[in-house]
Amino acid sequence: LDLPVLNAPYEKVSLSEIGTFDFIHLSYVIEHLPDPKHLFQTAYTLLKPKGILCIEAPNDFNILQKALVTHLNKKNYWIHVPVHVNYFHFESLSKLFAKTGFRIVQKETGFPLEFFVLMGLDYIDNPKVGKKIHTMRMLFEKNLSVLGLNELKENLYRSFADQGIGRNCIIYGQK
């Protein structure tokens, strides 16, 4: 596309070298960083006034995961040491946005996979079931699209985010 690309760790880049942006999107990054607050502060500096930062991270230690551990004796299946050095859920990620000066404008998520375990399809202990529920989730979303119900899906997933459930946290914050 003949777009300018700077391929370097963000800590090693001069902010004046890269300019400012209207939108920054970081997907599945912050759980790997020892200091995610620093990344948010850097993003804030790099955004133009009213610019948007979109962060997507796993929704870990959420109420459904805790329920599966407490009531169904599941292990903490979302723990990935040493790959993940930080864990977030909607409340903790929202606090990080606020601490770094962002105003949250929208929260979204994906399908809460824990629903399948609660319905008797234990993907945690059985990888074959994991493939099955992935196919089921994809079919659910595809059928909503085919039926012209994308807005319903978006509203449903935003409602899940409001409840703090869903596989991932997707939060949009404005400078």
For the chain, the DSSP string reads: -------S-GGGS-HHHH--EEEEEEES-GGG-S-HHHHHHHHHHHEEEEEEEEEEEE-TT-HHHHHHHHHH----TT--TTT------HHHHHHHHHHTTPEEEEEE----THHHHHTT--TTT-HHHHHHHHHHHHHHHHHHHHTT-HHHHHHHHHHHHHHT-SSEEEEEEE-
Q: Can you tell me the distance from the alpha carbon of 68 to that of 116, in angstroms, rounded to the nearest whole number? A: 11
Closest CA to 161 of 105, 112, 99, 116: 112
Instruction: Please give the pLDDT value at position 10.
Output: 67
Which residue ranges in the chain fall short of pLDDT 70?
10
Instruction: Please give the pLDDT value at position 167.
Output: 95
Instruction: Please give the pLDDT value at position 9.
Output: 75
Instruction: Please give the pLDDT value at position 26.
Output: 93
Instruction: Please give the pLDDT value at position 7.
Output: 74
Tens-digit pLDDT profile for residues 52-73: 999 999 999 999 999 999 999 9
Bond preceding residue 9 cis, omega within 30 of 0: no
